[in-house]
């Protein structure tokens, strides 16, 4: 798509080869175009690799962290399960939220937890709230280890942030959805891949092979879940209605 910005005329013109649109540069519609460009350009430049949470690299778009904290505050889970550990920043983030609420624990699952990351997580002030499980997130032994961390009556919220291929996310949805409590969520992160087919570090196949596509396919046979963008804008004195995110079509709430 071609985008032309004219600050003198206060216009933003888009041309996708099928349709040309001229938008007020300061309109909601123009903001949507610009924010999508900002997200995709930022992804290619590894913008999210510049943030930490309480000393650990978090590698998430800050806007997504703000949204998920509100979800966690509303659900008040006893256990947050995250597949994909990396440097551990998001585990520390979720543990900090639960600590502030006075309840809960975090389970992090990864096929490989590198020794220096494990040492940093296990040496952190919030380590007593975090359990690390090493193994493929969809293998039977790993799932048994995760279930062993749960107690009867626990409210459970799950985030999928490991291998983002369609096949793997489908397998994780099948594996972890049954652990999610009624009214809670399973979140398939990084559907942004669908938007990255033409950026330098992207891949053409991501247009079909991504978490967003997995969610859309999986929902067709799982009516006990609904796709829901949470939370609603309970506070919004601005005009923007679309979130800036790396996690489009991510939040599945158990009915």
- In which domain, by residue range, is 191 found? 52-254
Residues 148 and 235 in one domain: yes
Q: Is the pLDDT at 166 greater than 70, yes or no?
A: yes
Q: Looking only at Cα atoms, what is the longest distance across the chain? A: 63
Per-residue pLDDT reduced to its tens digit, 72-116:
999 999 999 999 999 999 999 999 999 999 999 999 999 999 999
Structure confidence by residue, pLDDT tens digits, 185-225:
999 999 999 999 999 999 999 999 999 999 999 999 999 99
pLDDT value at 241 more than 90? no
* In a shared domain, residues 66 and 122: yes
Which tens digit of pLDDT belongs to each residue from 115-129?
Answer: 999 999 999 999 999
Same domain, 124 and 160: yes
- Rounded to whole angstroms, the Cα distance separating 205 from 164 reads 12
pLDDT at residue 128, as a whole number? 98
- pLDDT tier, 242 (very low <50, low <70, confident <90, very high otherwise): confident
Confidence of residue 234 (pLDDT cuts 50, 70, 90): confident
Residues 67 and 180 both lie in one domain: yes
Q: Does residue 97 sit in the same domain as residue 219?
A: yes
Regarding whether 226 and 183 lie in a shared domain, the answer is yes
Q: CA 154, 165, 61: angle at the middle one, nearest 5?
A: 70
Alpha-carbon distance 182 to 155, whole Å? Answer: 8
**For the chain, what is the domain count?**
2
Q: State the SS3 of the chain.
A: CEEEEECCCCEEEEECCCCEEEEECCCHHHHHHHHHHHHHHHHHCCHHHHCEECCEECCCCHHHHHHHHHHHHHHCCCEEEEECCCCCHHHHHHHHHHHHHCCCEEEEEECCCCHHHHHHHHCCCCHHHEEEEECCCCCHHHHHHHHHCCCCCCCEEEEECCCCCHHHHHHHHHHHHHHCCCCCEEEECCHHHHHCCCCCCCCHHHHCCCHHHHHHHHHCCCCCEEECCCCCCCCCCCCCCCCCCCCCCCEEEEC
Q: With 90 as the cut, is the pLDDT of residue 251 above it?
A: yes
End-to-end CA distance of the chain: 39
What was the pLDDT predicted at 230?
76
Rg, Å, the chain Cα set: 19
Same-domain status, 28 and 127: no
Domain shared by 116 and 26, yes or no: no
**Whole-number Å distance between alpha carbons of 85 and 36:** 27
Domain identity same for 62 and 25: no
Residue 231 clears pLDDT 70, i.e. is over it: no
Percent of the chain with pLDDT over 90: 94
- The mean-pLDDT minimum among 66-75, 172-181, 225-234 falls in 225-234
Looking at the fold, whether 35 and 90 belong to one and the same domain comes out as no
- Average per-residue pLDDT for the chain: 96
CATH number at residue 137: 3.40.50.150
pLDDT tens-digit profile of 15-54? 999 999 999 999 999 999 999 999 999 999 999 999 999 9
The 10s digit of each residue's pLDDT in 126-142 is 999 999 999 999 999 99
Measured between alpha carbons, how far is 105 from 97 in angstroms, rounded to an integer? 10
Give me the pLDDT at residue 8, please.
Answer: 97
Residue 19 and residue 60 in one domain: no
Say yes or no: 105 and 198 in one domain. Answer: yes
């Amino acid at each position: 798509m071609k985008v032309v910005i004219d600050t003198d005329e206060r216009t933003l013109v888009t041309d996708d080869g099928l349709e040309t649109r001229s938008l007020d540069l300061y309109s909601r519609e123009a903001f949507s175009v610009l924010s999508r460009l900002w997200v995709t350009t930022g992804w290619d430049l590894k913008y999210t690799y510049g943030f930490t949470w309480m000393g650990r690299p978090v590698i998430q778009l800050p806007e997504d962290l703000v949204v998920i904290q509100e979800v966690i505050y509303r659900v008040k889970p006893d256990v947050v399960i995250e597949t994909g550990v990396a440097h551990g920043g998001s585990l520390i983030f979720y543990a900090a939220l639960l600590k502030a609420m006075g309840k809960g624990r975090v389970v992090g699952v990864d096929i490989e937890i590198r020794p220096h990351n494990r040492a940093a997580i296990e040496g952190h002030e919030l380590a007593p709230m975090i359990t690390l499980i090493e193994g493929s997130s969809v293998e039977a032994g790993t799932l048994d280890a995760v279930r062993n961390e749960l107690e009867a009556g626990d409210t459970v919220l799950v985030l999928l942030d490991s291998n983002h291929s369609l096949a793997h996310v489908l397998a994780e949805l099948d594996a972890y959805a049954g652990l999610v409590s009624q009214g809670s969520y399973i979140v398939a992160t990084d559907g942004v891949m669908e938007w990255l087919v033409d950026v330098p570090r992207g891949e053409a196949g991501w247009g079909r092979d991504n978490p967003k596509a997995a969610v859309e396919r999986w929902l067709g046979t799982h009516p006990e879940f609904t796709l829901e963008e949470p939370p609603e804008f309970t506070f919004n004195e601005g005009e923007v209605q679309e979130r800036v995110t790396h996690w489009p079509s991510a939040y599945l709430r158990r009915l």
